[in-house]
Amino acid sequence: MTYGKAPKPPLSPPAVLARKGGEPIVCLTAYTTPIAQLVDAHCDLVLVGDSVGMVLHGLPNTLGVDLDMMVMHGKAVRRGLKSALMVVDLPFGTYEESPQQAFRNAATLMRETGCDAVKLEGGVHMAETIAFLTRRAIPVMAHIGLTPQSVNTFGGYKVQGRGADAHAVLRDAQDVAEAGAFAVVIEKVPDILARRITSDVDIPTIGIGASAACDGQILVVDDMLGMFADFKPKFVKRYAHLAGDAERAIAAYAEDVRSRRFPAAEHVFGDLPASVPDAG
């Protein structure tokens, strides 16, 4: 399903890597087949993010997401994609213990979902794991800056890399690039730092609350469509307000049912008079 646009050839991690410094890379999350079909024709990369726990399952953060949940949503998204590169998040607790643990669970995600790559959070301390995975044919997208799985350590969803902390985030970017990541998500850092990272590393940077200078951008699809309305991060631009539209439609339906305006004659089925049972 391309919704008016011609299908693109499938994108690969090396093709994304080759986009460094070129045309901006368009990325969105997706968690279901219908949304995957909608974004496929327009996006270069689709992330099955562990944000699914918050936007679809009502969890307070991403820490409650498990591997089974990511496999289930990954399978659904795979069925809706033809062209975009599909990346699936490794959830909290499935890769931090050791490179071997990360490999087992990344291999499960790739085998069960058919994804093209996995994403994991962390910089310097995850470089060894990234190198271990990439040497074993598992492409890795890294994620630095604000890493939501570390929300308790950070004390909330705070901007990272301000002032003297900028050096640590820059080092994270350099280390994940050297370890073999094909791209790196930079979340919620100052614009000037995101620009510096983008100019310093040889892999594409994908910004979310970072800078227009990044090699690409990503948003949670429910945020940009206005479907998830619990809160709106500063870095989100709403391109639609579907939650409000849906609520108005549901309210209209409820009123029609209560007033017996629905179903109307055009919504019900007739039958041959002789086939109607006698009320007596």
Q: Which residues are catalytic?
A: 187
| Residues 121/152, Cβ–Cβ less than 8 Å | no
Determine contact, residues 209/188, Cβ cutoff 8 Å: yes
Write phi, then psi, for 272 (nearest 5 degrees): -70, 135
Q: Number of C-alpha atoms within 13 angstroms, CB side, residue 269?
A: 3
Element (H, E) at 187: strand 183-187
Q: Retrieve residue 206's tokens.
A: 């994908």
Cα–Cα dist 3/7, whole Å:
10
Q: Taking the mean position of all CA atoms in its chain, how far away is CA 193?
A: 23
Q: What are phi and psi of 194, to 5 degrees?
A: -60, -40
Token pair 């007596």: residue: 280
Question: What is the number of residues in the chain?
Answer: 280
User: Is 89 in a helix, a strand, or coil?
Assistant: strand
The phi and psi torsions of 216 (rounded to 5 degrees) equal -165, 175
Phi, psi for 205 (deg, rounded to 5): -100, 135
